[in-house]
Amino acid sequence: MVGISNIINRTTSLINSRIGRQSLLQKVVKAEELESLLNIFQNGQYMGWSGFAGTSYPKVIPTLLADHVEKNNLQGKLQFNLFVGASAGIETEDRWAKLNMIDRRYPHQSGKNIRSGINSDRIRFADEHLSIFANDLLYGFYTLKKEKGNKRKMDIVVIEATEITEDGGIVPGASVGITPELLEMADKVIIEINTSLPSFKGIHDLVAHDPPPYTKPYQITRVDDRIGKKAFYCDPEKIIAIVESQLPDMTSDNSPEDEVSTAIANHIVQFFDYEISQGRLPKNLLPLQSGIGSVANAVIGGLSHGPFDHLTVWTEVIQDTFLDFFDNGKLQYASATSLRFSQGGFNRLFNNWDSYKNKFMLRNQSISNSAELIRRLGVIAMNTPVEFDIYGHINSTCVDGTKMLNGLGGSGEFLRNSYISIVHAPSVRPSRNDPLGISSVVPFCSHVDHSEHDIDIIVTEQGLADLRGLSPKERALEIISKCAHPIYKPILMEYFIKSHEQCLKTHSSHEPHQLSKAFKLHENLLEKGTMRIDKW
């Protein structure tokens, strides 16, 4: 494991050039003094970090603490309740999980060890809609269980920034997330200034939360409208330390486009074309949202080769393929809460900083994911689920109903409130002993995050199901015939027909099911390693 003494460039004095407010210079803690900070950390504290989707999370302090726990065998003895807008980096939250340093974690996460901790009772995790989470956090709903200290406060908040301005404004980096809420709730704040990055000054639009009653509307009607400030402002008394970092965000590469994601993108392009021809979408579409992950990234890549231009984006996370989209001139502007690029993507960004920096804006996740704005702007939402059922319910989080992947993220906010909600997935995925072992289409979702009422369009490489205006039984026929893999079509159709026959007998055939068989594909997968059942 990397030692704390190696992770800061001791010779640099770059940090001073990034702190405009002179009175804060005295709070700079040098690398060799960092260990003096350890005494403020105590078991059971509520801690917030900046970061979203693995960028702009703090690295120096989390690593200092992890080293401390490792060196002194404090695993399970120095634990924190950890709040980050979405996921942080592998070398921080996932290392913390491995060292049993996390008690509670909200509202999203990523990493093998943290996932294992959640699914093995070591970490108490709950996922939540990301915009609502930001609000609820500030209302005090997540600190109700706090055993000591002020229930409205986060004990310690650690954020990464790229500059502190002369007027005391804290300029974040590649993500915003819940940092505004964390700073407002913070008892103590530590700022890591990452001098290996350019200052991101000017690309953020940061809004202070305005709780009910008499909350004002967000006066945004276009993706590039500004309503906030370019920096965070927090009481300087709260800032107990400023440290320098030169550590990069540990993002990984996305999978490249493949046959499946290309086929999905082509179905979506064809659908958009038809909607334009019918007058239900303008020629430059409406602002696009795209979920996190390789399929979503590849679909955006596919769309960037499509016939549409003058496009705009209103989303959570800007990924690598958006750079192609900017480069080919088809994407005009993108608003998000996080830039989540691969290392190569960040290099591309920084090498062409001046040409990109006026093309996007980063906002609070309470704004990027706000129901109010997603609906008003008429966003076209595209997200990849774990599975979906024959009536259009969606599982985005729990494999086989019980095992947490990463969490809900913004999927619910975008799918529910969008102009058109699209979910896309490969029709099948490999299981441990069958390359076609897992059907994305199932009789009944083993966990429901989004209901049939939230979904307009389902796409797999097999085809596109348009569910708008359909009753449940019509939806089942549309989904099975258009989206299911040929191997699973007869299996699903038999379930549907038999369920229908049976429910009709008891005058309960609005949405036919046989509850005793609803999860049979999942049970077969758990027992025999494949959803391909021999008989119903």
The residues that are catalytic are: 316
CB contact set of 472 (below 8 Å; sequence gap of 6+):
391, 392, 452, 510, 511, 512
Nearest to 160 by CA among 97, 245, 92, 66: 245
What is 119-185 written as a DSSP string?
Answer: TTTSSEE----HHHHHHHHHHTTTSTT--SS-TT-EEEEEEEESEE-TTSPEE--SB-BTHHHHHHH
Q: Looking at 161, 404, 428, 465, which residue binds a second copy (CB under 8 A)?
A: 404
Contact segment (CB under 8 A) with a second copy among 253-261, 262-270, 272-280, 476-484 equals: 272-280
Among 167-175, 196-204, 217-225, 349-357, the segment contacting a second copy (CB under 8 A): 217-225
**For a second copy, the closer CB: 56 or 418:** 418
Q: Which is nearer to a second copy, 171 or 334 (CB)?
A: 334
Among 49, 57, 80, 218, binds a second copy (CB under 8 A): 218
Residue 86 Cβ, how far from a second copy at the closest point, in Å? 14
For a second copy, which residue of 167, 216, 277, 535 counts as binding (CB under 8 A)?
216
Q: Please tell me the count of residues contacting a second copy according to CB under 8 A.
A: 99
Exposed/middle/buried for residue 524 (C-beta within 10 Å: 0-12, 13-18, 19+): middle
Asked if 160 is part of the footprint of a second copy (rule: CB under 8 A), the reply reads: no
Considering only CA atoms, which of 56, 66, 57 is closest in space to residue 34? 66
Q: Does 142 bind a second copy (CB under 8 A)?
A: yes
The smaller minimum CB distance to a second copy, of residues 166 and 515, is found at 515
Residue number with CB closer to a second copy (208 or 504): 504
Q: How far is CA 391 from CA 70, 91, 501, in A?
A: 49, 41, 17
Q: Does 400 bind a second copy (CB under 8 A)?
A: yes
Beta carbon nearer to a second copy, 357 or 429: 429
Residues between 413 and 452 with contacts to a second copy, criterion CB under 8 A? 416-417, 419, 444-451
* 88 in Cβ contact with 56 (< 8 Å): no
Nearer to a second copy, 450 or 532 (CB): 450
Structure token digits, residue 122: 């070591």
Residue 214, CA distances (Å) to 269, 363, 366 in order: 42, 22, 17
Q: Convert residues 13-52 into a mask of x (bound to a second copy by CB under 8 A) and - (unbound).
A: ----------------------------------------
Contact 48, 178 (CB under 8 A): yes
**How many angstroms separate the Cα of 33 from the Cα of each of 3, 74, 108, 161?**
14, 21, 33, 20
311 lines the binding site for a second copy (CB under 8 A)? no
- Does 129 sit near a second copy (CB under 8 A)? yes
Tell me if 354 contacts a second copy by CB under 8 A: no
Q: Does 276 bind a second copy (CB under 8 A)?
A: no
- Smallest gap from Cβ 510 to a second copy, in A, equals 4
- Closest distance of CB 47 from a second copy, Å: 15
CA 341 to chain centre: 13
The alpha-carbon radius of gyration of the chain (Å, integer) is 24
Which region, judged by CB under 8 A, interacts with a second copy, from 49-57, 63-71, 259-267, 522-530? 522-530
Question: Using CB under 8 A, which residues numbered 357 to 386 contact a second copy?
Answer: 370-372, 375-378
Query: Please, which residue, 11 or 219, has the CB nearer to a second copy?
Result: 219
Residue reference for tokens 């690295």: 59
Sheet strands side by side (includes 80-84): 124-125, 102-106, 80-84, 45-49, 154-161, 186-194, 239-245
Number of Cβ atoms within 10 Å of the Cβ of 211: 9
